[in-house]
């Protein structure tokens, strides 16, 4: 047997070993982490109706506020205030908020006036809102978001227990036509499976600002955004990554707690948004980067080695069987998560997006390294 044949034979078995290892890693992530949101039963949580301050930052968001703010102002909850920080808006935001204030006495408005000498990001506006809050518990969402239920505040508040500092909620995107919308909703669901599943397993690493709660005193005690004020993004995920622990963080993703947001309709606009989000991942704790990176790398190698082994006809029935088994686990767990998070018409698309998303995110991440991120509000 020639050295070439021996080398090829050895390479095939090395590839087979990598395939089996990556399969085992993938199954671990799906069964231990990602399955938790879909398969866990909702806990019966009882807590006193703590007063809550809902904080929303708005910059030229008059149209969104007109459409969505009423869903926040009409929550079925005994005592809460809504603070909208009008951050240098140049549209009709201020007039609209004044109209809303005449109708809703629990609406407070903090206005930041434009100053050419002072440039700031959303974190400054959030800080203004936090300082203006009258209550200990702060609940955050965005101006382009709406609550799907009048019980949103109650559902999130049930987690405000004595030992809780942070509550992670689900913030999805509105279902619309088009492939981009399906991909955005797929990725949002998958990320939710990750951060909710990790938190439920005792490894909280991020949250989304569309639906996030924490204590005011906890924020100031830990110096808030001080460790990452220079970054454009990170007002939600980096804060959670820095301060969340197994014993101080809870998750909430029941039907009543869902928040929906307006998705991007342009691929270019979505890429810009994604680039901002990906910049913060570099600042996650090392163990979180290893856990998240391990899943992505194992997924890429799983698909790559599968294609090679199929092409070389190496143990064809066994390799195909292993691939289908992972496929069944993926679809079953993803389907359960889709039901819990009320996301529709994504299951079959997820098979394709599961292959494409690591490479798409890698491409966006590489462009981030070669381009300077200019400070922006949002």
> Given CA atoms 231, 235, 236, 238 in this order, what sign does their dihedral have?
positive
Please answer whether residues 123 and 130 qualify as being in contact, where contact means their C-beta atoms are separated by less than 8 angstroms: no
Would you state the pLDDT for residue 278? Answer: 79
**Over residues 151-165, mean pLDDT:** 94
Task: Reply yes or no on whether the pLDDT at 229 is more than 80.
Answer: no
**Which tokens go with 323?**
């691939």
Residue 224 banded pLDDT, cuts 50, 70, 90: confident
Query: What CATH code would you report for 52-282?
Result: 3.90.550.10
Task: Residue 332: name the closest of 350, 357, 307, 355 by CA.
Answer: 350
Would you state the pLDDT for residue 6? Answer: 46
Which of 88-102, 190-204, 314-328 has maximum average pLDDT? 190-204
Q: Which of 201-215, 227-241, 364-378 has the lowest mean pLDDT?
A: 364-378
pLDDT: which is higher, 155 or 4: 155
3-state secondary structure at position 180:
helix
Q: Which residues pair with 141 in a beta bridge?
A: 56
Give CA–CA dist 59/122, Å, rounded. 9
Would you state the pLDDT for residue 66? Answer: 96
183-196 tens-digit pLDDT? 999 999 999 999 99
Task: Reply yes or no on whether the pLDDT at 230 is more than 70.
Answer: yes
Task: Reply yes or no on whether the pLDDT at 115 is more than 90.
Answer: no
pTM of the shown model? 0.91
3-state secondary structure at position 172:
strand
Q: Where are the alpha helices (DSSP H) in the chain?
A: 3-28, 35-39, 62-73, 93-103, 122-132, 152-157, 179-200, 216-221, 237-243, 267-281, 286-311, 316-340, 347-370
36 contacts: CB under 8 Å, gap ≥ 6 = 196, 197, 200, 201
363 contacts: CB under 8 Å, gap ≥ 6 = none
Give CA–CA dist 288/28, Å, rounded. 16
**Over residues 126-149, mean pLDDT:** 96
232-284 tens-digit pLDDT? 777 889 999 999 999 999 999 999 999 999 999 999 998 888 887 777 888 89
Would you state the pLDDT for residue 339? Answer: 96
Would you state the pLDDT for residue 82? Answer: 98
**Over residues 113-117, mean pLDDT:** 79
355 contacts: CB under 8 Å, gap ≥ 6 = 303
- What is the residue extent of each domain of the chain? 3-39+287-370, 52-282
């Amino acid at each position: 047997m020639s050295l070439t044949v021996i080398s090829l034979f050895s390479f095939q078995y090395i590839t087979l070993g990598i395939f089996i290892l990556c399969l085992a890693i993938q199954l671990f992530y799906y069964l231990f982490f990602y399955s938790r949101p879909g398969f866990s039963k909702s806990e019966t949580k009882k807590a006193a109706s703590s007063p809550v301050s809902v904080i929303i930052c708005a910059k030229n968001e008059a149209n969104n506020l007109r459409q969505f703010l009423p869903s926040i102002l009409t929550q079925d909850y005994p005592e809460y205030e809504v603070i909208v920080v009008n951050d240098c808006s140049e549209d009709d935001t201020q007039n609209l908020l004044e109209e809303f204030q005449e109708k809703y006495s629990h609406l407070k408005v903090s206005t930041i006036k434009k100053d050419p000498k002072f440039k700031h990001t959303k974190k400054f506006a959030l800080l203004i809102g936090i300082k203006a809050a009258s209550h200990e518990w702060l609940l955050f969402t965005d101006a382009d978001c709406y609550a799907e239920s009048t019980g949103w505040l109650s559902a999130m508040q049930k987690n405000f227990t004595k030992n809780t500092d942070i509550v992670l909620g689900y913030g999805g995107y509105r279902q619309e036509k088009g492939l981009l919308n399906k991909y955005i909703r797929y990725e949002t669901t998958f990320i939710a499976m990750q951060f909710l599943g990790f938190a439920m397993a005792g490894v909280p690493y991020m949250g989304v600002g569309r639906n996030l709660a924490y204590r005011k005193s906890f924020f100031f005690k830990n110096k808030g955004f001080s460790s990452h004020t220079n970054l454009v993004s990170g007002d939600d995920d980096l804060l959670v990554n820095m301060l969340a622990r197994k014993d101080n963080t809870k998750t909430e993703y029941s039907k009543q707690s869902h928040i929906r947001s307006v998705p991007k309709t342009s691929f270019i606009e979505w890429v810009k948004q994604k680039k901002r989000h990906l910049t913060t991942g570099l600042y996650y704790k090392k163990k979180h980067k290893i856990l998240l990176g391990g899943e992505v790398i194992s997924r890429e190698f799983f698909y790559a080695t599968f294609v090679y082994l199929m092409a070389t006809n190496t143990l064809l029935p066994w390799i195909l069987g292993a691939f289908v088994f992972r496929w069944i686990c993926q679809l079953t767990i993803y389907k359960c998560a889709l039901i819990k998070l009320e996301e529709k018409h994504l299951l079959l698309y997820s098979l394709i997006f599961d292959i494409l998303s690591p490479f798409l995110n890698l491409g966006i991440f590489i462009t981030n390294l070669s381009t300077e991120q200019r400070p922006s509000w949002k």
